[in-house]
Amino acid sequence: MTTAAATGSASSRTLAHPEPEEIRLEAVLHALADPMRMRVVRALAREEGAAGLSCSYFELPVTKSTCTHHFRVLRESGVIRQIYRGTAKLNVLRRDDLDALFPGLLDSVLAAAARQADRLGEES
């Protein structure tokens, strides 16, 4: 696993991220199977190209500790990358890595989640 410091972050705080060759399909699917984590991934996909979204950007109807758990699962599975900027932890979708490893998977899952949200009348 790499850390933020190893990838050039100016912060002394580091977070472990799997190398692309360490990312496993079953871990990615597990991470994407949870509705709260899917909500995070959908928001990150909508904001691709941005420098990242802070954890406080997401208004999840769960406790702070549960929210932290969801972000950790997403990071450790290789779905997102988290980078400290000052006191904020920014989150970005690892689309390039996921697309290279599992072509079409992320787009298919995001499209299916959007169709489900429309069918159920949920917020996108």
pLDDT tens by residue, 37-90: 999 999 999 987 777 888 888 888 888 888 889 999 999 999 999 998 888 889
- pLDDT at position 9, please? 43
As a whole number, mean pLDDT of residues 13-22 equals: 90
Cα Rg of the chain, angstroms: 14
CA–CA distances in Å: residue 35 to residues 57, 68, 92, 113, 116: 17, 15, 18, 9, 11
* CA 9 remoteness from chain centre: 18
Identify residue 24 by its one-letter amino acid code: R
CA distance 92 to 122: 23
- pLDDT at position 60, please? 82
Model-level pTM?
0.84
CA distance 118 to 124: 8
pLDDT at residue 116 tops 90: yes
Place 1 in a pLDDT band, splitting at 50, 70 and 90: low
As a whole number, mean pLDDT of residues 27-32 equals: 97
Neighbouring CB atoms inside 10 A of 49's CB total 5
pLDDT at residue 12 tops 60: no
Question: Nearest-CA neighbor of 86 among 62, 58, 52?
Answer: 52
Structure-block tokens of residue 9: 């972050």
